[in-house]
Amino acid sequence: MPLSRQRRRVSPVGATSRRPSVPGRWATTSSFSIRATWPLWRRNCCDRAPTKKTRLMTDAGLRIGGLTLPSRLLIAPMAGITDYPFRAIARRYGAGLTYCEFVAADGIVRENKAVLDRLKIRPDERPIGIQIFGAEPEVLSRSARWLIERFAPDILDINYGCPVPKVARKGAGVAALKDLGLMRELTTAVVEAAGDTTVTVKMRMGWSESTIVVPEAGPILESCGVKAITLHGRTSRDRYKHPARWEFIRRLKEAVSIPVIGNGDVFDERDALRMLDETGCDGVMVARAVQGNPWLIRRLVAALNGEPRPADPHPVERIDVCLEHLELEIIEMGERVGLDRMRKQFAWYLKRSSATRPIVHDLVRVNDVTEARALLLDHRHKLQDKAA
């Protein structure tokens, strides 16, 4: 493997140590006046003339079927993560498409409360995607019709990529790729049930090294009526142990005429631009890298658009967005559940900066919302005093 592919976490060229000024009071991120302090950073692949590889892109967005996304950066559906508070913040920072937490088709058909609770969609959440998984065509068909009638998602995505045992044991997720005939039946059932709603697929390369189905699966999915494919460049057996193999994203792109979204091992702007350049993919999907890090979303969108690199967040801004996320979770889920859901978010937001890292240990152990707010606000005041 080339050394350049192994070095995933490289500091961007042209970084400076300048920081935006500290706001004088607590506010959400949208009230900050943050000045970009990084020089323009482009790659040649951003300046080139439109080619066959880029024909499905708008100036800044991506066209999937009849839907035009505002940017080429998509946030993957993640169980326990991509709820409304997460999605609201991600959209504000420039995500072109967000998804609800992925859900089981049989849970939808049974109208399981725990499953339906993951599908709270607000009117301002457009475009929005819902991802489903299942191993029975009839169940997937019924769940697709129910979701469209109830929520009218802009995109209905089929999960052929989840390697989690409790999903794969049922023949769903990446296990559906063991039988391309079954994959065709499942996909056709959803497309026919969806009517005019755009159907997409997110998949891995296959179950194992000996059963890789890319690029063969691509033309099958396209012939079923799928309007875009997101490919995570790993097999199920790989999990996250080995680097993603972007060459399979390129091979899939060469095999189909619909948009291909690249996924896997995008941790910074250089990764995103290199993925576009090496694979010819039409967009980029990220997951783990943006947990507690909406500023990466902003930087990735700017890089994909050939725009100046936005400034890194001041530690005070990290605390403000963390506070905002906490308040949204409380509104959405109530104090007890909201605080429980925030524990991992506290660590993701604050461990990235040495200035905010000291309070993580105490925050993840609090049992009271008032105490959590007090810890965050007290540390915020200390940072302001230090900067004064």
**Domain spans in the chain, listed from the N-terminal domain onward:** 52-304, 313-387
pLDDT confidence bin for 239, thresholds 50/70/90: confident
On the question of pLDDT at 15 being above 80, the answer is no
On the question of pLDDT at 18 being above 80, the answer is no
pLDDT confidence bin for 133, thresholds 50/70/90: very high
Question: For position 35, what pLDDT does the model report?
Answer: 26
Q: How much is the average pLDDT of 321-340?
A: 97
Classify 313-387 by CATH class: mainly alpha
Dihedral (Cα; 304, 56, 286, 373), 10-degree rounding:
70
Structure tokens at 145: 């019709």
| Topology annotation, domain 52-304 | TIM Barrel (3.20.20)
pLDDT confidence bin for 240, thresholds 50/70/90: confident
Question: For position 26, what pLDDT does the model report?
Answer: 33
On the question of pLDDT at 81 being above 60, the answer is yes
Q: Degrees (nearest 5) of the Cα angle 353, 30, 90? A: 70
pLDDT confidence bin for 27, thresholds 50/70/90: very low
Question: For position 386, what pLDDT does the model report?
Answer: 87
On the question of pLDDT at 45 being above 80, the answer is no
Question: For position 59, what pLDDT does the model report?
Answer: 58
On the question of pLDDT at 340 being above 60, the answer is yes
Question: For position 241, what pLDDT does the model report?
Answer: 81
* Catalytic residue set: 162
pLDDT tens per residue across span 257-293: 999 999 999 999 999 999 999 999 999 999 999 999 9
250 vs 385: which has the higher pLDDT: 250
On the question of pLDDT at 189 being above 90, the answer is yes
Q: Poorest-confidence range of 100-104, 239-243, 278-282, 354-358?
A: 239-243
Q: Quick one: 42 exposed, middle or buried, by C-beta within 10 A (0-12, 13-18, 19+)?
A: middle
What is the three-state SS of the chain?
Answer: CCHHHHCCCCCCCCCCCCCCCCCCCCCCHHHCCCCCCCCCCCCHHHHCCCCHHHCCECCCCEEECCEEECCCEEECCCCCCCCHHHHHHHHHCCCCEEECCCEEHHHHHCCCHHHHHHHCCCCCCCCEEEEEECCCHHHHHHHHHHHHHHHCCCEEEEEECCCCHHHHCCCCHHHHHHCHHHHHHHHHHHHHHHCCCEEEEEEECECCHHHECCCCHHHHHHHHCCCCEEEECCCCCCCCCCCCCCHHHHHHHHHCCCCEEEECCCCCHHHHHHHHHHHCCCEEEECHHHCCCHHHHHHHHHHHCCCCCCCCCCHHHHHHHHHHHHHHHHHHHCHHHHHHHHHHHHHHHHCCCCCCHHHHHHHCCCCCHHHHHHHHHHHHHHHHHHHC
pLDDT tens per residue across span 201-229: 999 999 999 999 999 999 999 999 999 99
pLDDT tens per residue across span 346-380: 999 999 999 999 999 999 999 999 999 999 999 99
